[in-house]
Structure 1
Amino acid sequence: MARKCDVCGKGVITGYKYSHSHIRTKRKWKPNLQRVRIVVGGSPRRILVCTRCLRSGKVKRAI
């Protein structure tokens, strides 16, 4: 399962962590994904959605 939002496509971003002495090491920033039930085509489904999409109302949650 890919760590990617099914609505907007936000995924893992890579970059460098800099120490005080400027030694660089690779690191990752992961999106805050939540497993939610939404209505797709009249039936509920579980998908991964980032919290920004949830907060902005881009998905309709199933109750």
Structure 2
Amino acid sequence: MAFACDICSKKHQTGNNVSHANNKTKRAFNPNLQRVRAIIDGSTKRIKVCTRCLRSGRVQKAV
């Protein structure tokens, strides 16, 4: 189960699965979270970050 991005707090959203017969059931859209080692306040920590934050450079990855 995905929780939330530690940078932007992006969480899951809910919606519907819609079948060909137009039946609707609830589903969840989870963010694409990755566990990365990042530099936070000068120290290295392992955080969960969405790929949008990784791609936009909001996270400084540890070497």
Same fold (TM over 0.5): yes
Offset, 1:15: 0.8
Q: Which runs of 4+ in 1 moved over 6 A?
A: none
Gaps of 5+ in 2: none
Q: How many residues align?
A: 63
Q: What is the letter of the counterpart of residue 17 of structure 1?
A: N
Aligned sequence identity (%): 56
Partner residue of 1:53? 53
What is the match of residue 26 of structure 1? 26
CA RMSD of aligned residues (A): 1.4
CA offsets per residue over residues 12-56 of structure 1, 9 Å max, x none? Answer: 111111111111101011110000011112110000000010001
The answer for unaligned runs of 5 or more in structure 1 is none
Taking structure 1 as the reference length, the TM-score comes to 0.92
After TM superposition, the structure 1 stretch with the greater mean CA deviation from structure 2, 2-11 or 52-61, is 2-11
TM-score scaled to structure 2, two decimals? 0.92
